[in-house]
């Protein structure tokens, strides 16, 4: 293992340890709640990035989050199913819908795919907004229960009613999901997906089933969007599908901003972007009416000054330092 990789691994381990000590270090419900939302945003943005690997640009990822949120909430509220089964079923339902829609949608590219996904997400939202008998319509769903208690050996019964306990649950599920996406990105599927991104015609000529690989990619990304939605529903304890809600078009745009600001070409990019933008949004809550404009300005500045995203900044600083050092010694 080379020195650079060792430093990276130690940094990741230190960050993970820090995450598990956050409730102890801050002892502040407000900041813990922000980090729960940040973790959900990071999972959403990272799963959206998975779609970009194959060369597609989705504006409807939030629609699959909505599917996961409402399906998990309804399974628990209407059928009495345990959260632990419901949140997995929510992810699987989102993936199944992605497979069905992916077959026609993934035959087109570029702006056409983006528009199709955007319209689909809006149709999901409007359905939830108008289907009063199932989703509560404009009134939404209320009193969504928190995850049911579990028994852990040597620990005892663990409940998830408090902010800190739900934080640990969210961090655990999000880290497992990110690990799965990371391992997937370092598997043979990633090689095939990137080959398709370069030229799907050439990929098909060497025997790749291009459409099937695209559908698989889309389904996996939407599965994790559904998982994120389920976490969101049981954390908020209530859901609404109005245009200004979490499931509106603005969220889809924010997910893209997370990728741009953090850096799309690196796995950790959307995670860093979600962390920075979510916290910045919370700190500027008093300027809520100007937030979209401020976030847009941040994205534009990042594109021009840091095309690789914030994650590429340390590398640029190291390169600049070495250049100055060599220039002075010359």
Nearest CA among 245, 300, 250, 309 for reference residue 275:
309
pLDDT tens digits along 41-67:
999 999 999 999 998 989 999 999 999
* Per-residue confidence (pLDDT) for residue 93, from 0 to 100: 97
More confident residue, 91 or 268: 91
**In the predicted model, is pLDDT for residue 133 greater than 60?**
yes
33 by Cβ neighbours in 10 Å (0-12 / 13-18 / 19+) ranks as middle
* Per-residue confidence (pLDDT) for residue 175, from 0 to 100: 94
Of 84-88, 263-267, 316-320, the one with minimum mean pLDDT is 316-320
Mean pLDDT within 190-209:
80
pLDDT tens digits along 111-129:
999 999 999 999 999 999 9
Give the whole-angstrom CA distance, residue 154 versus residue 150: 12
Note whether 81 and 149 are within 8 A (CB).
Answer: no
pLDDT tens digits along 219-232:
999 999 999 999 99
Note whether 230 and 251 are within 8 A (CB).
Answer: no
**In the predicted model, is pLDDT for residue 271 greater than 90?**
yes
**In the predicted model, is pLDDT for residue 137 greater than 60?**
yes
Residue 138's CB is within 10 A of a number of other CB atoms, namely 12
Give the whole-angstrom CA distance, residue 185 versus residue 320: 30
Q: Predicted confidence band at 1 (pLDDT cuts at 50, 70, 90)?
A: low
Note whether 98 and 218 are within 8 A (CB).
Answer: yes
Percent residues over pLDDT 70 in the chain: 96
**In the predicted model, is pLDDT for residue 312 greater than 90?**
no
Q: Predicted confidence band at 327 (pLDDT cuts at 50, 70, 90)?
A: low
Mean pLDDT within 93-104:
96
* Per-residue confidence (pLDDT) for residue 45, from 0 to 100: 95
* Per-residue confidence (pLDDT) for residue 310, from 0 to 100: 85
Q: Domain ranges in the chain? A: 34-247, 256-330
Note whether 121 and 66 are within 8 A (CB).
Answer: yes
């Amino acid at each position: 293992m080379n020195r650079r990789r060792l430093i990276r691994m130690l940094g990741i381990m230190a960050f993970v340890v820090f995450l598990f000590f956050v409730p102890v270090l801050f002892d502040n419900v407000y900041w813990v709640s922000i980090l729960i939302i940040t973790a959900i945003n990071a999972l959403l943005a990272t799963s959206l990035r998975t779609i970009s690997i194959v060369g597609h640009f989705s504006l409807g990822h939030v629609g699959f989050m909505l599917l996961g949120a409402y399906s998990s909430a309804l399974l628990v509220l209407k059928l009495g199913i345990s959260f632990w089964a419901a949140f997995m079923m929510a992810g699987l339902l989102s993936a199944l819908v992605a497979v069905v829609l992916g077959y026609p949608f993934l035959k087109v590219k570029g702006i056409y795919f983006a528009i199709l996904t955007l319209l689909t997400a809006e149709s999901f939202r409007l359905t939830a907004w108008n289907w009063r008998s199932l989703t509560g319509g404009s009134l939404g769903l209320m009193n969504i229960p928190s995850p049911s208690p579990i028994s852990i050996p040597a620990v005892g019964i663990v409940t998830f009613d408090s902010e800190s306990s739900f934080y640990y649950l969210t961090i655990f599920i999000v880290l497992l999901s990110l690990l799965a996406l990371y391992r997937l990105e370092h598997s043979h599927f990633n090689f095939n997906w990137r080959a398709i991104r370069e030229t799907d015609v050439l990929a098909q000529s060497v025997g790749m089933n291009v459409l099937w690989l695209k559908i698989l990619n889309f389904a996996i990304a939407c599965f994790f969007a559904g998982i994120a939605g389920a976490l969101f529903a049981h954390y908020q304890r209530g859901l609404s599908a109005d245009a200004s809600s979490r499931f509106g078009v603005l969220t889809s745009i924010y997910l893209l901003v997370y990728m741009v600001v953090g850096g799309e070409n690196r796995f950790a990019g959307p995670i860093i972007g979600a962390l920075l933008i979510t916290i910045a949004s919370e700190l500027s809550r008093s300027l809520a009416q100007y937030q979209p404009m401020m976030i847009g300005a941040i994205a534009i500045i990042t594109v021009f000054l840091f095309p690789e995203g914030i994650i590429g900044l340390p590398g640029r600083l190291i390169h600049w330092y070495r250049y100055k050092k060599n220039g002075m010694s010359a």
